[in-house]
Each structure stands twice: as C-alpha cells, then as structure tokens.
Amino acid sequence: MALPYSHVNRYMFPSLSRFIARPYSVVSSHTYLRLNKSVYARQLSVPAGSISSRTLHQTQRFKPRCALYSSTNAASTLSTTAGDLASESTELPKYVPPQTGLLSYLPQRVVPYAELIRLDKPTGTYYLFFPCLFSTFIAATMITPMAAPAAVFGTTALFFTGALVMRGAGCTINDLWDRNLDPHVARTRLRPIARKAVSPQAAVVFTGAQLLTGLGVLLSLPFECFWYATPSLVLVTLYPLAKRVTNYPQAVLGLTFSWGAMMGFPALGVDLLSNPNALAAAACLYGSNIAWTVLYDMIYAHMDIKDDAKAGIKSIALKHEKETKAVLTGLAVVQVGLLTAAGVASGMGPVFFIGSCGSAVATLATMIWKVQLKSVNNCWWWFKNGAWFTGGGIALGLMSEYFAQYFSLYEKKGEIKEI
C-alpha cells in the first residue's frame, strides 16, 4: 500500500516518508540507518527487542544481501510498513460497554437503546426542558387568581417527563438520518446505529414507541396543548436534514428546542390568541430561547468542526469559524434583550430583571470570554455546565419572581391582570 508523503509524514519520520513509493536506487544507506528500530524489526518479522542498536547501525553491511531490500520490492515493502504503522497510530478505540454510571446497571440488551436516547448524557434534556419551565413560571403570574404552587410544579413535572421522552425520540431520529455520516466522525462513530448495535428497522420501531409515550404525556395536559405541540414534530424531523442543506442548522434546532417557550401558557389555561400581553411575552420568550439555543449549539459544534468539514456536514461553527466569539456575543445580546422584553410584556417585577436577566448577562459573558473553542473538552464543559449556569439562573429568577407575586411582596398594583 503506497501512501502520499503528506499522510505518512504526520505519523512517521521524514527520512522514511520521503522515499515512500520511490525506486530502490534512491533509498540510501544513510536513510536506512535512520529507520526506527520497530520498523526494521517488522521488516525482518522479528520482535523489536531482538534488534540491538549495533545491529541497526550495521544495516548498510548486509542490506544488499537481504531479500527484503531487493531492487524489485524495497520501495513497496517500505510503503506497506509505513501504511500499517500509520493505520495503527491512528486507530480509534473500540466500543467498551459502560462500566460505571446508570447504564452499567442496565441489562446488556437494553444498553444500546439507553445510549440511543442519550440517557447517560442528560444535558440535552435540560436544554429542552428549560423553555417549558420559563413559560410555566411566566404564565403562572399572568392568570387571575395566580396559579397555585401545586399546579405550577405538577405542570413542571409533566414537562420534564415530556422533555426526557421527546429528546430521546429526537436523538433517535437524528441518528437514523445520520447513520451513514456518524461512522466518519470520531465523536459519533460508536453510537448504537453507527456501530450496528441497533438496526435502522429497530430504531424506527423504538421511535414510534417514544412518540406514543410522548403523546401520553401531552394528553395529560389540557387538550389545547395538543394543538400547540403538534407542529413541533415537523421541526424534530427536519433538523437532521438541515445539516445537509444549510450552514445554519442550529437555527432549525433553536426553533425546535425552544418550542416549550409557548407551551407553559396553554398548560396553565392562558389563551395566547385572546391575550395580547401573553402572546407578546410568549413570542419574545421563544425568540430569546432560539438565540440561546444557537449560542450554546455553536459552541457544541466546535467539538466536531474538523470532522464535519471532512464529512460535508454544514454548521454555523464552520461558516463563522474566524468570528465565532463575535457571533456568540451578538446572540447573547439578542437573548437577553428578548428575555427582558418578555418580562416587560408579562408585567414582571425587579426580582425577575435582576435575578433572571442579570444572571443571564453574567453567565453568558463569562462563558463567551472563557470558552476555548479549539479545545474539545473545554467546549463540552461549557456546553454541559452552561445549561445550569444560564438556564438555572433564569429559572431561579423566575421562580423567585413568582413567589414574590404569589405572596404579595410587591406593592398592590393598580390594575388586575386579566386573561
């Protein structure tokens, strides 16, 4: 196997790579003296430990007598050896079943399906859940009388269950779409469908079961939620396709993951179509969460930026690789601005603006400043923890605002909000 110089030089030393696929006559004795001991040992089919330094330096003396170095096969043998070593040096680790964590306690036949829905990586579930949580707290303050804590937290529990199920369904659909791309990306090559632990047919059946479960959760909410939620299924299906046709698939992901920003209102009985203030608040909150989704997924996309370029996968990280932090800053400004507008439209008090908006400014600024976009581990750390830094801060501010209004900590307002 003959390899181009540019490939071999990454893994071997220049003296060998210069002579790959070259005639024997140009391979000098000096070059052979510089060969690595392990390379020479492989050529002679003996253990590397049996080749002493003295033997290696005496190569010139017996090189002509060695059949391995005959004028007809010397270059091809070197090419094969270089190719083998290059393949070995770049060999990626094989799949190892989980030894720790939740998945290690599951039956072996169940593990691939748990991996398929990313049960061991719940960050995506949190990102899908937070918009639902935000809208629930805002909606709770916009009805008269205000929603009781039991109703708020009961609705929140249903939303979290739905987020867990539907995020799993989305991951399964994504992996079905990407089953021919994932094997070529280092981070995704060991996903269950990519490594053939789950067949596409089984994954389709599994997706159907998840969607039915999600429908059960949805029907546990007021029936109006069904009409609001159904259009999101189109976006769930189209997001993986967006990676093939546009440089901004994160925008489609934002439209999908932010859908919950509208769901809290019908879940607590607020009719968006008949309440202009609620509609404005929901629209601003939805836009804010879209900006947040594009922001954190742009950081996430930097983890795969090299493999995506090779595989032909499009992303905003590739499109704006040189000005990523400027784009992140712009997205953060949009997110906080629309979050503030949602608070104004819904009549929020200072607790929200200081707690939610203030914490969003602080956490986003810190993340954009500190994230190291060239480091896969650092991007993953900020993506994983940013869910709690920013999302948790906004949620805490909203919850505090809800209780401040519920216990009448503010002065009595001149007008009573009506639906």
Under the banding of pLDDT at 50, 70 and 90, the label for residue 103 is very high
Q: Please say if the pLDDT value at position 125 is more than 80.
A: yes
Helices (H), strands (E): how many in the chain?
23, 0
How many whole angstroms separate alpha carbon 371 and alpha carbon 377? 10
How many whole angstroms separate alpha carbon 314 and alpha carbon 297? 13
Under the banding of pLDDT at 50, 70 and 90, the label for residue 412 is low
pLDDT score recorded for residue 251: 93
Query: What number is the average pLDDT over the span 120-141?
Result: 97
- Report the first-to-last Cα separation within the chain, whole angstroms: 74
pLDDT score recorded for residue 79: 43
Say if CB 268 and CB 139 are below 8 A apart. yes
DSSP annotation string for 210-246: HHHHHHHHHHTS-THHHHHHTTHHHHHHHHHHHHHH-
Under the banding of pLDDT at 50, 70 and 90, the label for residue 411 is low
pLDDT digits (tens, 9 = 90+) for 31-47: 444 444 444 445 545 45
Structure-token pair, residue 326: 């400027």
pLDDT score recorded for residue 90: 57
3-state secondary structure of 361: helix
| Kind plus residue range of the DSSP H or E element containing 391 | none
pLDDT score recorded for residue 243: 79
Say if CB 318 and CB 304 are below 8 A apart. no
Tally the C-alpha atoms within 13 A of residue 13's C-alpha that lie toward its C-beta. Answer: 10
Under the banding of pLDDT at 50, 70 and 90, the label for residue 299 is very high
pLDDT score recorded for residue 24: 37
Q: How much is the pTM?
A: 0.76
Among 24-38, 84-98, 308-322, the range scoring the smallest mean pLDDT is 24-38
